[in-house]
Every structure is written in C-alpha cells, then in structure tokens.
Amino acid sequence: MKDLAEEKITMELLHREGLARIGRFQTPHGYVDTPNIMPVINPNIRTLSIEKMKRMGMQCLITNSYIIRRSPELKEKALKEGLHSLVGFDGPIMTDSGTFQSYVYGDVEFKNRDTVQFQIDIKSDISTILDIFSTPENTYEEAENAVNETKNRLMEVQDIAEHANISGPIQGSIYMDLRGKSARIMSDSPASYLPIGGVVPLLEQYRYGELVDIIINSKLNSDFSKPIHLFGGGHPMFMSMAVLLGVDMFDSASYVKYARDDRMLFPEGTRDLSEIVELPIWSPLYDKYNAREIKSLGKEERKEALAEHNLFAIYMELGEIRERIREQTLWQYVESKARSHPSLMVAFKKILTYSGKIERYTELYRKSPFFYFDELSSSTPYGERLKKMGRDNCRKVPKRYCLPAGIDGKFTGQIYEHSRENFCFPFGQIMVPVEMEESYPVQQSIATDRIPDGYEGDSTYNLEQGKTRDFNLEKLRFLSDFQFGEGSGRILFPDNVRIDVSKKTGRIRTVRNGEKIMATMRAHDGYLALTIDGAMILNDAFPGMKNRVKVSEESAAFNSQGKSVFFQFILDADPDIIPYNDVIVIDPENRVVAVGKALASGIEMLQYKKGMAVTINHHITVS
C-alpha cells in the first residue's frame, strides 16, 4: 500500500454543477470534502477551542509557519513533536509561508527554500512557497515580475515538491492574461494545490466583479485535478459565487477579526452587534444569550461568543452550498442571492459574460428544472447553449415562421410537415429551433409567470400542398447532430427507420432500424439515449474521437461487463464532450465496448486522475 505521506493531492469528483463541484482529496492526516474552509489559527492566540470548531464541522485548518518559526518556543515544539501536536488538531493542516507578512512589513528574514523545508520538517500537510504577493495597485510590469519570480521560487523547491504537497499560488493582480499564465505555470508544475492569491484587497472593497474575472481566468487555465483555493475568501456573502466559478477551498480569519470589532456574519452580509435586537434562531448563541446579554459581556468573552457565531455562519453557508450542488440548484441560489447586494449583482452580471466559456462544462440536463427569473436568465450557460443551437437555424428565419410561445404541439407538427422552412419559437430572449420543444431546459422550466414571448406570432405560413417531411424524424436528426456530431442524425436515422411513440402522450420512445434499436428518447430531459447498435454505426461512420472515450485494455475488459469507467484508465477523450451526454467507450483498438453517461466534460476527462468518469448504460463483450 502506498505511504500516505508520499501521496500527492488529487481531486476526486463526487457531484457537480457546471464548474462547481463536491470533491474529496486525501492528505497524510486524512481527507477533506470540498467545498470547504480552513479557519486561520494563530498558534499564539486561541479564541475558540479546537473541539468546539470540530463540532461545527471543521475538517482542516491553516496556520502560519512564519509565526511559528519566529518564536523559539513554538519552533522547538513544532520540530520536536510536530505541527499537529503543537496546534492540537489531528486533521489536515495547511501552512502559510509568511508572504503576507513580507508584503505588509517588507522582506522577511527567511529564504524561500528554507521556509518550505521548515514546513516539511514540522509535517505540514500542505506547504506554501514564499511567493511574491501582488495587489490590484501593481503595474502590469510589477505583476508580471511577481508571476515570474513566483515560478522561479517554485522551481527552486521542485525536488521537494515531487514528494510533498506544495501549494503554488496563482498571482497576476488584475491582469487576466497574467492570471491565466500563472495558472498554467502552476498547473504544469509539481505543485499539487493551487491557491488564488492577491485578492484580499478586492474582497475587502467589495470589488466582486473583478474577483469574478480573476477566479474564472484562473480556474479555466488550471488543472482540474488540483484543488483551487481562494486565499482570504471566507465571507459567506461571496462564497456561493466563488464555488459556482470553481473554487474548492477557502481560508478565513474573518470569524475572529469581525468578532473583535463586534461584528456578526450573516449569509447575506455583516451586521454590527450594536444594531442587533434579536439573534437568529440558527445561531449557536441563540440558546445561551439574548442580544442584550451578549452586549454586556466582557471584551474577551464577547469576542469568543461572536467568533463562535461567525464561524458557524460560515459552515452553515458551506453546507447550503454543498446541498445546492447535490440538488443542482446552485446557479438558481446564486442568481437569487445576487439580488441581496448591488456588488453581488455586478458580479453576477460579470459571470453571465463568461456563460459561453462555462457552457462546455455545463451538464446536458439537471435534476432541477430551469428557473427563469427575468431576462438575465436568458444569458446563463443554458441560454448560451440554446443560442448556439439556434444560431444557424433561427437567424435567417422569416418572422412569419417564428411561432408564438406555448403553441399547441400538434399544430406545430402539422405546419412543420407541410413546409420546407425552419421554424423557431421564443424561449425568453432566445429564438429556439422548434425541434428543441421537449428538450432541457425548454420544457423543463419554471418561470415567474410565463416566459415572455418577445413575439405575438401570426398565421401566414406558406404551406405546401402535401406532407414534405416527418416532424419526429427531423427532431431526432436535429438532436443527434447536437449530441453526437454534425451529420450523425442522417446516419443513425435514415428515412426508413421506425419511430415508436407513446400511445398516451404521442412522444417518441424508441427508434428502430430493422430489428435493431438505434436510440431511445428519455422522458426526463427530452434527449437521446444511444444503444450499442447505434454506437457501432457511429463509430464506423466517424473516424477519430468524436464523442468517444478511449480506455486502456484493462479497463475495456471491465467496461464491456457493464462496470464504470474511471479517470485513471482513460487514454483519450473528445474535448468537446459535455457532462451527462451519452458517450461511446472504445478500447485501444477503437472497438466499441460500451455506451454510457459522461460525468465530466472531455477537458476534465483528460485531467482528473481519480474517480468515476462514465457510468455504463449498455455494453458488449469484445472477443
């Protein structure tokens, strides 16, 4: 069995919603479930006991190796008994290097390699290099120098990083090309943990829109198998947005700092104790004090009480975020939460500008219906997907062929089959091909009232005398081209296929070519589920990796028995795969062994090293 102390951190994907994920990574002192937070512990000052913090849900913490090293007493104990004994915590501990102290007070007295080696010697689970802190006020040249010097400092400890978990901070100030460059450098390095640094000033000034730019450009240029940490980002007000953009971990001393100033954390912001009349029922202080009694406590006792409340508020928000990811309603949660503060709305609108980039990581469908709040909902990743699907089909459609929203489906089929024109209908601000009428998110939506038409419609359709095409057949071809590649629809579904429909609803159920079933249409999302026979036809017709996952010979033997595909056995994958779409699993000889549901995008499949990548729906024994 591999020695845990030598095992490098790698993310295991458990649940997802776009870039947000519930994951797990292992350290020498146990595992961490993400998204999560590392409370900052000052080794000299204890406001809350470790036991009390563990009862709230603390799995891991962060402390400062610079402070420990500067104190002869702490240094001696840490070297002799280990960091965990010093702190009194047996779980994962990350150590900071003193970079922030260097930024505040000038150069620190310790060098980079010695700083990292000291963290290794005291048995830190995740050690941090002495990187160069950059701020929003830095010039481009200064920020670029910081990125390059941080790279040099990581390379200086490359031999240590090969056998230990070293964090490689992503710097670059407010310059997005530098953030992307830094993320790529750190992802390609031996660093196994990627904190986004230099953002505390933006957090303190509520510059959340700029934070969105920084996080998304860091995330999309990073290795998905490595955890993303937002240094100093532990305020519950912004955490859900950060997680939505791919942040896995936070740290925070705010629970103590705010308590020291008589301020209380809440999910939507911060309040002064002097203005509090009633404590929220969820607060751990609710059964101990009333607001007046807290105000009358002595300074230290009051600080401890407020710190307990503040840390509980952080863990409560993280629990809500994780549950939202499991339900796949985090986007709706963020969208509604954005209305609680103008700075959050600025950030949410900035997120929408990245919807086109996030779309490729967004699931084909979700367990939750699509919530349509207002016109902003048309600019989500699902909105961008619909725009992309309708771009060629609806852009040149004459107005008279744009159907009113909510038009009777039977009538739609009739006018469609007696015309050669493309037909579209409005979904909010987007014109959607009529072939998408039953597919997610069009039919699986909940709106505030009724999704706005944007068009009143008319009935002056130029219809042919006879039937020119079959609506169900064209719908199948349209969906196939989207799911499995342009041109796949006519290959899978030639004119002579037999389409079986439900007698009760009239909806498509199965499609046969002769006696073989090519695909079925799923009722819950309105998309196609591919069969082995359909997969073999597409595999023969389309050379290359289109919508395919190639696995090792060892894996193929298991997958052909219906067992899931795991990331570590993937040899290649189509980078255009989107999560929850059906994919074809092939062996090293390009033979079909199974069809299943992708649990990650194609880009992620090429990066994750641990966990389940494809669940198998159909399989075939390869001789």
Using one digit for the tens of pLDDT, what is the confidence trace for 207-257?
Answer: 999 999 999 999 999 999 999 999 999 899 999 999 999 999 999 999 999
- Single pTM value for the model: 0.94
What per-residue confidence (pLDDT) applies to 400? 58
Q: Mean per-residue pLDDT for 183-199?
A: 96
What per-residue confidence (pLDDT) applies to 396? 64
User: What CATH number did the domain enclosing 336 receive?
Assistant: 3.20.20.105
User: What CATH number did the domain enclosing 416 receive?
Assistant: 3.90.1020.10
Question: Quick one: 54 and 131 in the same domain?
Answer: yes
Residue 221: name the closest of 566, 618, 607 by CA.
607
**pLDDT of 118 above 70:** yes
For residue 3, name the pLDDT band (cuts at 50, 70, 90): very low
What per-residue confidence (pLDDT) applies to 373? 87
For residue 457, name the pLDDT band (cuts at 50, 70, 90): very low
Sign of CA dihedral 179, 184, 187, 191: negative
Question: Quick one: 38 and 175 in the same domain?
Answer: yes
Question: Quick one: 91 and 198 in the same domain?
Answer: yes
Please give the order of strands across the beta sheet that includes 194-196: 93-96, 61-64, 36-41, 249-252, 228-230, 194-196
- Helix residue spans in 485-616 (DSSP H): 488-492, 532-541, 553-559, 602-605
Read off the tokens for 268. 């939507």
End-to-end CA distance of the chain: 33
Question: Quick one: 219 and 333 in the same domain?
Answer: yes
Domain of 617, in residue numbers:
543-623
For residue 74, name the pLDDT band (cuts at 50, 70, 90): very high
The catalytic residue positions are 96
Under 8 Å between Cβ of 592 and 586: yes
Q: Mean per-residue pLDDT for 296-306?
A: 96
Predicted confidence (pLDDT) per residue in 76-86, tens digit: 999 999 999 99
For residue 404, name the pLDDT band (cuts at 50, 70, 90): low
User: What CATH number did the domain enclosing 611 receive?
Assistant: 2.30.130.10
Q: Mean per-residue pLDDT for 360-384?
A: 93
Query: For residue 148, how many C-alpha atoms fall within 13 Å in the half-sphere facing its CB?
Result: 6
Q: Mean per-residue pLDDT for 441-457?
A: 67
Q: Which range, of 18-22, 292-296, 458-462, averages the lowest pLDDT?
A: 458-462
**pLDDT of 5 above 50:** no
Question: Quick one: 346 and 311 in the same domain?
Answer: yes
Distance CA 616, CA 148 (A): 45
Question: Quick one: 462 and 479 in the same domain?
Answer: no
Which amino acid, 271? R
Cis peptide before 280 (omega within 30 of 0): no
Q: Mean per-residue pLDDT for 325-337?
A: 96
**pLDDT of 297 above 60:** yes
Looking at 303, 321, 352, the residue that finishes a domain is 352
Q: How far is CA 31 from CA 27, 86, 470, in A?
A: 6, 20, 55
Q: Which range, of 60-74, 280-294, 336-350, 378-392, averages the lowest pLDDT?
A: 378-392
**pLDDT of 456 above 50:** no
Question: Quick one: 507 and 603 in the same domain?
Answer: no
Looking at 313, 333, 352, the residue that finishes a domain is 352
Residue 500: name the closest of 509, 490, 491 by CA.
509
Q: Which residues pair with 45 in a beta bridge?
A: 42
Task: Please provide the average confidence, as pLDDT, over all residues in the chain.
Answer: 91
**pLDDT of 101 above 70:** no
Which amino acid, 197? G
Looking at 352, 379, 396, the residue that finishes a domain is 352
What per-residue confidence (pLDDT) applies to 220? 98
**pLDDT of 591 above 60:** yes
User: What CATH number did the domain enclosing 482 receive?
Assistant: 3.10.450.90
Predicted confidence (pLDDT) per residue in 515-574, tens digit: 999 999 999 999 999 999 999 999 999 988 899 999 999 999 999 999 999 999 999 999
Which residue did the predictor score with more confidence, 392 or 70? 70
What per-residue confidence (pLDDT) applies to 1? 28
Question: Quick one: 59 and 40 in the same domain?
Answer: yes
Q: How far is CA 599 from CA 16, 188, 620, in A?
A: 8, 24, 21
Q: Mean per-residue pLDDT for 50-75?
A: 95
Q: How far is CA 297 from CA 277, 301, 302, 303, in A?
A: 15, 6, 5, 9
Residue 439: name the closest of 355, 547, 366 by CA.
366
Question: Quick one: 368 and 323 in the same domain?
Answer: no
Number of domains in the chain: 4
What per-residue confidence (pLDDT) applies to 7? 75
Q: Which range, of 82-96, 285-299, 385-399, 430-444, averages the lowest pLDDT?
A: 385-399
Question: Quick one: 460 and 498 in the same domain?
Answer: no
Question: Quick one: 115 and 43 in the same domain?
Answer: yes
Under 8 Å between Cβ of 374 and 361: no
Which amino acid, 320? E
Question: Quick one: 607 and 511 in the same domain?
Answer: no
Read off the tokens for 530. 């591919």
For residue 270, name the pLDDT band (cuts at 50, 70, 90): very high
pLDDT over 90, % of the chain: 79
What per-residue confidence (pLDDT) applies to 108? 64
What per-residue confidence (pLDDT) applies to 348? 98
What per-residue confidence (pLDDT) applies to 397? 63
Distance CA 40, CA 535 (A): 52
Under 8 Å between Cβ of 248 and 224: no
What per-residue confidence (pLDDT) applies to 623? 61
